[in-house]
Amino acid sequence: MKIGTLADWFGKGLIEGIRESEQCGAEGVQVYAAGELNPADITPDKLELLKRTLRDCSQEVTALCGEIGGYGFERAGDNPAKIGYLKSVVDLALELDCRVITTHIGVIPEHTDDATYRTMLEAMKEIGAYADQHGACVAIETGPEAISRLCAFVDAGGKGVAVNYDPANIAMVTGDDHIEGVRTAGSRIVHTHAKDGVCLIPCDSAAYYHKFAEGGLEWAREAGNCREMPLGEGDVRWEEYLRALAEIGYDGYLTIEREAKNGAADIRAAVVFLRELLDRLGL
């Protein structure tokens, strides 16, 4: 397994974030297809600067994050524009020699005959097929629903649809066992987030994520249901988690995500934490 960071969370912009990632000992960076890297605005000069910086810093793009915002694919009227955006993210990922696009798609309903389920699945099949045609995949991040439900949805989505596994989202909100979830998801996992957190007040995960869709990170911090923590200080059982990933044959990135205003020091510490743990476990 390799260690990555999310360049934007160093708080210094994309290019400096890539340099910070190299300096703290990571091998790759996940970047957001937004802001400085919005596919609609990216220029050849900006793209070349990004590629040159990645080469100079010996970093590869672990995944390209294509956030579609709000309720994800839950609202049919919003989906044509969101699908179009994700297709442009796939195209940009290929320019960066990256084959994994991560995103949140909203809350997958429990029942497959639910109209929202059908709406989400139709959208997912279209973007998944586009990604697969180009040798890539779109990985849905774990969070709102049980892993078994997410896996059934991924399978129904067809080729080009996969899982971005975030153990902290599960530990903080969903309440599933994030270790057994790895075994359930198995080879569907193509990318992971190394994040930690604690559940403070158990809640209905679907309601939580729908409120998050409206209020974002600021709402989540004020709601007080859960709290993101530095790696090793939350509810994620890291030794068991890494062993479970090794058990299913995962050898991709553990991409550190620290959604905090001053998270750079925690990211650097997380690289050391993971490196020492991987070495100790022989992984």
Alpha-carbon gap, residue 147 to 177, rounded angstroms: 9
Q: What is the mean pLDDT of residues 73-86?
A: 98
Q: What is the pLDDT of residue 224?
A: 92
Q: Which residue(s) pair with 165 in the sheet?
A: 192
Residue 271 has pLDDT above 80, yes or no: yes
CATH code for the domain in which residue 87 is found: 3.20.20.150
Q: What is the mean pLDDT of the chain?
A: 96
Percent share of the chain, pLDDT over 90: 92
Question: CA dist 86 to 28, 129, 219, Å?
Answer: 22, 12, 26
List the one residue out of 273, 283, 189 whose CA is nearest residue 236. Answer: 273
Domain count, the chain: 1
Confidence label for 217 from pLDDT (cuts 50, 70 and 90)? confident
Confidence label for 260 from pLDDT (cuts 50, 70 and 90)? confident
Domain boundaries, position 194: 2-281
Q: What is the mean pLDDT of residues 212-221?
A: 89
Q: What is the mean pLDDT of residues 125-136?
A: 98
Q: What is the pLDDT of residue 70?
A: 84
Residue 76 has pLDDT above 90, yes or no: yes
